[in-house]
Amino acid sequence: MSQLLPFKLGSEVYALELIDVQEVVEHHPTHPLLGVSEAIIGAIGFHGRIVPAIDLPLLLGFPAGERCERMIVLTDEHGPVALAVDQLLRIIDIDLGRILSQSNSEEDCIRGVINLDGKMISLLALEQLCAVLEQVCTASGDTR
Amino acid sequence: MRVEISYKFVIGFIVVVASVVLLNILVPQMQIPEWTHQWITIVGALLVGLVFGWLFSRAFTANIGILTEGAERLSDGDLSRKVRLRQGLFSDETEDLSGSLNLVVDSLRNLVGQIRSSSVKVNESSLALAATAEEMTATSHEVAGSIEQISRGAETQAEMVERVSKVTKEMANEIELIALSAAKLFQSAEETTMTARQGENMATTALGNMKQVLVQVEDNTQMMASFSEQVQKIGSIIDVITNIAQKTNLLALNATIEAARAGEYGHGFAVVAEEVSKLADSTSESAGEITRLIEETREQSQKVHLSMNESIKSIDAGREAVDVAGSSFVAIIDKAETAQVKAAEITELTGNQQTGAHSIVEAIEEIASVTEDNAASTEEVSAATEEQSASMEEMTFASQRLSKLADDLLTSVSRFNLGAEQSSERA
Amino acid sequence: MDIEKYRKMFLSEAAEHLQNMADQLIVVEADPEDRAGIDALFREAHSIKGMAATMSFDATARLAHHLEDRLSDCRDQGCVSGELIDRLLAGVDLLEDLLEDIRDQQPERDVDAFIDAKQPIPELEEVVVVEEEPIAAEPVKESLLVRLLLADTITTPGPRLLVLLKHLSRFGKILQSTPSEEQIIQGEVTRQLQVRLVTEVSAEEILQQLQSYGELAEVVFPAEEPVAEKMRKQSSSSSATVRVDTDLLDRFINLTGELITNRYTLQSAAGEKSWSEVNEGLGQLARLVKDLHHQVLKVRMMPLQSVTGRLPRAVRELCQSSGKEVKLEVEGATIELDRAILEELTDPLTHMLRNAIDHGIEEQGRVQIKAWRERDQVLIQVADDGRGIDPEQVRQRAVERDLINSTQAQAMRDYDVLQLICQPGFSTAEQVTETSGRGVGMDVVKTAVEKLGGVLLIDSTLGEGARITMKLPLSVAIIRVLLIDCAGSLLGMPITRVLQTVEVAPEEVQTSGKQLVISLHGELVPLLSLRKILQQSKGSPKNPIALVITEIFGRKVGLVVDRLLGQQEVFVQALPSPFDRLKGTNGGAILGDGRIMFLLDLQSKLEKRRAKGT
């Protein structure tokens, strides 16, 4: 049994394993960074450290919009990075064995899908996410 | 020097004698031969005597001649000249004589003069009298004529007086009417004033009431305002609570995250975190409900506020109206009082006028009566004049006679010649 | 978790021991009869063996044991042969590799081959030590790093990458690929493939051949980066632990105590709303924080020795490979520097050493490394008594390489000409040796030095030698920056990079050719728009225009910014992943008011553009 933190990107529900989450922060002012893709909002100050702030929906191809005031800060393993999402949902306990499929489309950065009472929750693949981020950063400034 | 004639004779003689003597004295003194002394003396004496005599006689004779002349004249009736003797050195009785003669002349003259003047006067007077009588006659004719005129005029006057009297009476009536109206006006003005005062009082009372109401409404508004404030305070506290609930929620979330990382050691903690989260949620809900209630309350109080505002507006409008009414009343009172005053004035004036009219009427009536008297008097006057006229005739006649008499006198005295003085007296 | 802790401990201690061994070997080589030295060597090997055995790192233990045996023999003999030194050094290298494996949680590599072999292992796949050029089996062939990026339109990159990988393998031998073939087959892929290739085929040819693949968005041949990255990782991980004076620790405890007291003071003062007391408390806090900072910095300070200590060995190897005789003198190695700086110095020092030995010194010579402190800076000088650098040659080469035109070449002073050798792609070496001459040496040095906020000075006298001096700030953590506002983002430029700030009226801007320039002290300085570089829209025209005069690729430029916001001392932190991939920003800082400032590294940003351009 492990716990997941689900959140909404657009109309779809995604989730992260709580183990990978360091903290959820609220109302942190983001400081813009120039010359990078729109998916990168900038950086936030997190316990005295500079942590990149990512617009997750935008990164994964969802339309631009107002994101939730709360950001999910991943553990140091994964950056750390702060992810802005559309809406945070309540933590759920889940049996990871229920992950339906391990789809490997790096487009979506999805590690698997869980069916919870008819709702489809996509589990976020963090390594892919980080790789995509690195790519985006490396590519920054080139494509435009 | 008066020397009587006798004396003059004496003197003459003396003189001659003296002269002889003197010559006798003198001649010797002269260096003339002595022989001649006597001659001279005699001659001289003779001369002197001659001369003196000559002189004296001449004068004397002249004077006597004059005197005679004068007396002759006098007999002629020529009183024009006085006897004037030759002036000589020594006057004498001839002088007296001339004097007396002159006196006579003078007296005669005076007398004649007087008679003349008197008669002239009489003539004149009688003429004057006659003239006067004629005049008077004329005048009395005139008077008669005037009297007629007067009596005629008096008639007209009487008519006019009648008219005037009538008019004046009418006027007096009208004035009375005016006075009446004025009195009525005064009355109604008085009533109006009273009513207006009443109205003013009511307006004041009404205003007072409205003010009270307004004060109350204001109190209410203030209470509403403070109530609103309280509600707002509650609102902000609720905001704080909501905020805290949110933060608590976040903390609970993070706590769960930490618990997850703590692995098995974190289970108990996770449960607690879950409870905290639920608690925060219910707090949020309650806070939300309170907020909703606050909203509703606010809406209600807003409505109340609005209606109160409406009330205030109505009251304000009412107050304005009352104010306007009040001031209208005041204006009315003012005007009514003025009207009253004016009415009083009018009454007074009409009173005066009435009195005046009465006086006129009286005067007119007096005139009328006077006119009547006048008419009567003129009748009498007319009669009197007639009598006077007759008397005048008589007088005229009498004066004529007198005049004639005077003429006669004059004629008789006309003989006398008064000379220049006469003519001057006459003139 | 416990295992992790012990592993870390083991790694750091073992690394230290190995380092000591390496140093000691050099010392002993100089004096083969040094008994004490040999003893020391023995003890080190013994320690390593013991630790590895305890931790059940068998291969490591076995190797250490093997070395220990050899040393024991030497002890008995009383001397060490040169050959043995080599072998022992090789053994130390292998031990380091093993430590690497352990760190990466990979299975320990095979040591038997080494133990059995009598020769020093000639082939090492990757270099783990200070040198960053891999010592390949066939020295002549290049090891090339290829990075491929697939187009966004690709939905299934996996198979494509596999194909590409196969293709690449046709060019030569694939030393390493990220992701590896297995990973690609497993499907754990992104759009990117990075391959280290040993090939005789030139990069251009590879590029040409790969052109046929329509779905390739990008093909790059980054030379330094991945190794440097590896380098960085290694050096940062090698210094994951540190020795601290107990005195210092005591002082920390005291400071912490005082801080706690201060906290209570402030709390009660604030509670009573007694502001004067709060101010007092804050003053105290400021003092304590400063103290703490000072102490922590001290902990971070390490002697230069920790870097220069490896150099003798490098020199030794260079001598061997180049056949020259070079003596290394290190002076002032006790000077203490911030470890972050030290980490960055290993590359540059090695480069410079290599250059000196390869190009400077002819047959015989001396390389002197001197370090000394001047006020708030540390100067490290690498001087050789060799040929020196010929400005004329540099000029020629620069013109050849299209770095400057001939008129500029004429106009430049010798001093400035020498700076040109730091341009990437520059190399006057006729022959590309295994060790250097690839023209990538000095620009790395310059970049590294400037990254640290320092300055590189090159001086040379023909026939007498060359002197390259690095002027470095004492601390890289706290630097003074010029704050710049550009399109709403807060940027900072290290003051050391700023030649001048100036405000000019728009009328003063002239055009020279297609370039906007201004006249400054009689010089025409070209203008660059920061907004344009950062791909922002044009801002509203400003009057006056704010310019930052700085040096890029050896030339003066005027950077047009939106606003100059003054100077500040900031505590710079490295940007975490993925920001560390960003070109143009090599750090950030959180200012006192909470705003985040990004450090602007103009040169690398433009470099990228340039590279793309070419």
Question: Which of A2, A19, A24 has the CB atom closest to B254's CB atom?
Answer: A24
pLDDT tens-digit map of C201-227: 777 777 777 776 666 666 777 654 443
Give A-chain residues touching B257 at CB under 8 angstroms.
Answer: 5, 18, 21-24
- In terms of phi and psi (left: phi > 0; alpha: psi -120 to 50; beta: otherwise), the region of B174 is alpha
Query: For residue A73, what pLDDT is reported?
Result: 92
Question: Which of B250, B257, B274 has the CB atom closest to A26's CB atom?
Answer: B250
Strand, helix or coil for residue A140: coil
Nearest to C306 by CA among C62, C22, C561, C507: C22
Residue A126 lies inside a defined structural domain of this protein: yes
Cα B405 to its chain centre, rounded Å, is: 60
Give the CATH fold of the C305-473 domain: Heat Shock Protein 90 (3.30.565)
Q: Write the CA distances from C16 to A123, B302, B344, C45, C95, integer angstroms.
A: 43, 79, 134, 11, 12
Residue A45 at interface with chain C, using a CB cutoff of 8 Å: yes
Determine the Cα–Cα distance for residues C100 and C113; give it in Å rounded to an integer.
18
The alpha carbon of residue B256 is apart from the nearest alpha carbon of chain A, in Å, by: 8
Query: For residue A140, what pLDDT is reported?
Result: 65
Contact A125, A39 (CB under 8 A): no
Query: For residue C135, what pLDDT is reported?
Result: 41
Asked if C596's CB is within 8 angstroms of A50's CB, the reply is yes
Question: Which of A18, A26, A70 has the CB atom closest to B257's CB atom?
Answer: A18
> Closest chain B residue to A3 measured between Cα atoms?
B260
The position carrying tokens 């990979």 is: C106
Query: For residue B80, what pLDDT is reported?
Result: 79
The alpha-carbon radius of gyration of chain A (Å, integer) is 15
Asked if A23's CB is within 8 angstroms of B247's CB, the reply is no
Query: For residue B425, what pLDDT is reported?
Result: 45
For residue A52, what are the domain limits?
2-139
Nearest to B419 by CA among B134, B200, B106, B194: B106
Q: Give the mean pLDDT of B155-173.
A: 77
Interface of B with A (CB under 8 A): 246-247, 250, 253-254, 256-257, 260-261, 270, 274
- Residues 6 or more apart in contact with residue B401 via CB below 8 angstroms: none
Query: For residue A82, what pLDDT is reported?
Result: 92
Q: Write the CA distances from B190 to A64, B201, B333, B408, C463, integer angstroms.
A: 88, 16, 9, 98, 138
Q: Give the mean pLDDT of C466-483.
A: 80
Give B-chain residues touching A25 at CB under 8 angstroms.
Answer: 250
Determine the Cα–Cα distance for residues B190 and B338; give it in Å rounded to an integer.
10
Determine the Cα–Cα distance for residues A52 and C577; give it in Å rounded to an integer.
8
Q: Give the mean pLDDT of A96-123.
A: 73
Architecture of domain C478-613: Beta Barrel (2.40)
State the DSSP code for C155.
S
Ordered by where they begin, the domains of chain B are 138-409 (1.10.287.2610)
State the DSSP code for B417.
B
Asked if A133's CB is within 8 angstroms of C577's CB, the reply is yes
The correct answer on CATH 3.40.228.10 for the domain covering C2-116 is no
Q: Give the mean pLDDT of B93-106.
A: 80
pLDDT tens-digit map of B363-379: 777 777 776 777 777 77
Contact C131, C350 (CB under 8 A): yes
The two structure tokens encoding residue C551: 């040096």
Name the residue ranges covered by the structural domains of chain C: 2-116, 142-223, 246-303, 305-473, 478-613
Q: Give the mean pLDDT of B17-44.
A: 76
> How many other C-beta atoms can be found within 10 angstroms of the C-beta atom of residue B144?
19
Higher model confidence: residue B219 or residue C202? B219
The two structure tokens encoding residue C452: 């640290």
- In terms of phi and psi (left: phi > 0; alpha: psi -120 to 50; beta: otherwise), the region of C494 is beta
Cis preceding linkage at C544, omega within 30: yes
Q: What CATH number should be reported for the domain holding residue A81?
A: 2.40.50.180
**C4: pLDDT strictly greater than 80:** no
Cα B147 to its chain centre, rounded Å, is: 36
State the DSSP code for C50.
H
Question: Rounded to the nearest 5 degrees, what angle is found at the Cα of C186, between the Cα atoms of C181 and C192?
Answer: 60
**A59: pLDDT strictly greater than 80:** yes
Determine the Cα–Cα distance for residues C526 and C557; give it in Å rounded to an integer.
5
Query: For residue C119, what pLDDT is reported?
Result: 45
**C230: pLDDT strictly greater than 70:** no
Residue A144 lies inside a defined structural domain of this protein: no
Number of folded domains that form chain A: 1
The two structure tokens encoding residue A32: 């813009």
Q: What type of residue is B172?
A: A
3-state SS of B194-237 is HHHHHHHHHHHHHHHHHHHHHHHHHHHHHHHHHHHHHHHHHHHH
> Closest chain A residue to B254 measured between Cα atoms?
A23
What is C142-223's CATH number, 1.10.3720.10, 3.30.70.1110, 3.30.310.50, 3.40.50.300? 3.30.70.1110
The pair phi, psi for residue B218, each rounded to 5°, is -60, -45
The two structure tokens encoding residue C317: 């190897």
pLDDT tens-digit map of C70-86: 888 888 877 777 778 88
Q: A2-9 and A12-17 as β-strands: parallel, antiparallel, unpaired?
A: antiparallel
Quick one: which H or E segment has residue C485? strand C478-486
Asked if C488's CB is within 8 angstroms of A79's CB, the reply is no
Following CA atoms B24, B30, B35, B37 in sequence, which dihedral angle do they give, to the nearest 10 degrees? -20
Asked if A133's CB is within 8 angstroms of C155's CB, the reply is no
pLDDT tens-digit map of C376-412: 678 889 888 888 888 888 888 778 777 777 777 777 7
Query: For residue B420, what pLDDT is reported?
Result: 57
The alpha-carbon radius of gyration of chain B (Å, integer) is 74
Query: For residue B259, what pLDDT is reported?
Result: 85
Contact A142, C608 (CB under 8 A): yes
Contact C520, C544 (CB under 8 A): no
Asked if A36's CB is within 8 angstroms of C536's CB, the reply is no
Q: Give the mean pLDDT of C568-596.
A: 80
Query: ipTM score of the complex?
Result: 0.85
CB pairs under 8 A between A and C: 109
Q: Give the mean pLDDT of B230-236.
A: 87
Report the range of poorest mean pLDDT among B122-131, C355-364, C540-549.
Answer: B122-131
State the DSSP code for C271.
H
pLDDT tens-digit map of B104-116: 878 887 887 777 7
